[in-house]
């Protein structure tokens, strides 16, 4: 880097300095609000710390406990993984379907787009409270509608087998946000490709599989990573609605982290949990990134 700097002309150096100056607000923010806290978290994960007393160095004890004698670590990881497996395909597929509908050229489409996007900007707590009403077993909207067709709806959040699927179903609520991203991707697909395919006699289904889907894969790739990270961070629903129950069915990883940090005053162990989640998310992201060469197609 130093040799590259020496090889620059004075004019290039001035340009580089301006560039670094322009970058500096972000760099300062990154160092203060991201890099330093991550490093601090790593340090605290090697300590026993109650927040109000000085941290005590305990080496790898928190990690040993996590991997060898903490059943809640396993159950929270299991609940979170199940949630990711359920909610991620739901959001990706339904988001795409919604985007295809919102891409139709019919009157009033801008209004529909706005309406479908609105849920994505509503606070998670408000949405959670609303879903409690939706899925209330006796008087909720969903079970009332089911009762009209003779179906006795489940106890949803309060049923051992339905609690986690209920939270996954709830995550669909924000699918409008994903749909808007897909919509941008759809509108970037050149119209002449569709025209050529139509002239060649390709039907709607074939055009979707041969043109739309391949050219939408960069957007799908982006959405997959964003939704994956978002799904691993599931917290609000457990905090507001289920409190991790029943029987730990929705005891998600971040909820466990929260309880350890702020209810159990075990900030050292909570730091270790946070770092583990960081590694898991990073690992999944790298995996998706590495495989993207096989299924993501760029127009050029």
Note the residues at the interface with other proteins (CB under 8 A).
48, 50-54, 65, 69, 71-72, 132-133, 136-140, 155-160, 241, 245-248, 259, 262-266
> Of 119 and 140, which has the nearer Cβ to other proteins?
140
Taken in order 39, 265, 280, 57, is the CA torsion positive or negative? positive
**How many Å separate Cα 193 from the centre of its chain?**
32
Cβ at position 255, least distance to other proteins in Å: 11
| CA separation for the pair 263, 269 (Å, rounded) | 12
Cβ at position 260, least distance to other proteins in Å: 8
Cβ at position 131, least distance to other proteins in Å: 11
> Of 222 and 265, which has the nearer Cβ to other proteins?
265
> Of 137 and 214, which has the nearer Cβ to other proteins?
137
> Of 55 and 214, which has the nearer Cβ to other proteins?
55
Cβ at position 160, least distance to other proteins in Å: 6
| CA separation for the pair 52, 191 (Å, rounded) | 62
> Of 174 and 248, which has the nearer Cβ to other proteins?
248
Cβ at position 144, least distance to other proteins in Å: 13
Torsions phi, psi for 234 (to 5 deg): -55, 125
Cβ at position 262, least distance to other proteins in Å: 8
> Of 1 and 52, which has the nearer Cβ to other proteins?
52
Which contacts of 92-96 are long-range, i.e. CB under 8 A and separated by 24 or more positions? 92/178, 92/220, 92/223, 92/224, 92/227, 94/172, 94/175, 95/175, 95/178, 95/179, 95/181, 95/182, 95/223, 96/179, 96/182, 96/216, 96/220
**How many Å separate Cα 175 from the centre of its chain?**
11
Taken in order 123, 125, 128, 129, is the CA torsion positive or negative? negative
CB 65 within 8 A of CB 269: yes
Cβ at position 133, least distance to other proteins in Å: 6
> Of 5 and 33, which has the nearer Cβ to other proteins?
33
Nearest CA among 181, 220, 230, 222 for reference residue 83: 230
178 in helix, strand or coil? helix
């Amino acid at each position: 880097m130093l040799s590259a700097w020496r090889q620059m002309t004075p004019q290039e150096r001035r340009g580089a300095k301006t560039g670094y100056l322009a970058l500096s607000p972000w760099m300062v923010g990154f160092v203060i609000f991201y890099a330093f806290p991550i490093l601090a978290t790593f340090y605290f994960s090697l300590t026993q710390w109650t927040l109000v007393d000085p941290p005590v160095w305990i080496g790898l004890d928190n990690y040993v406990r996590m991997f060898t004698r903490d059943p809640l670590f396993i159950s929270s990881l299991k609940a979170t993984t199940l949630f990711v497996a359920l909610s991620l395909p739901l959001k990706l597929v339904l988001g795409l379907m919604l985007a295809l509908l919102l891409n139709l050229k019919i009157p009033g489409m801008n209004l529909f787009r706005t309406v479908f996007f609105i849920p994505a900007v509503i606070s998670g707590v408000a949405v959670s409270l609303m879903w409690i009403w939706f899925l209330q077993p006796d008087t909720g909207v969903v079970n009332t509608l089911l009762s009209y067709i003779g179906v006795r709806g489940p106890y949803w959040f309060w049923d051992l087998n339905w609690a986690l699927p209920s939270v996954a179903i709830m995550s669909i609520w924000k699918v409008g946000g994903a749909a808007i991203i897909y919509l941008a991707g759809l509108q970037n697909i050149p119209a002449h490709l569709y025209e050529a395919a139509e002239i060649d006699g390709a039907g709607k289904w074939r055009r979707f599989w041969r043109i739309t889907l391949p050219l939408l894969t960069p957007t799908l790739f982006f959405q997959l990573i964003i939704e994956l990270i978002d799904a691993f961070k599931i917290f609000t629903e457990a905090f507001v609605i289920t409190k991790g129950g029943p029987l730990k069915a929705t005891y998600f990883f971040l909820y466990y982290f929260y309880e350890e940090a702020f209810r159990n005053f075990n900030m050292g162990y909570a730091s270790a949990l946070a770092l583990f989640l960081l590694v898991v998310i990073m690992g999944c992201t790298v995996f998706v990134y590495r495989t993207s060469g096989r299924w993501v197609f760029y127009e050029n």
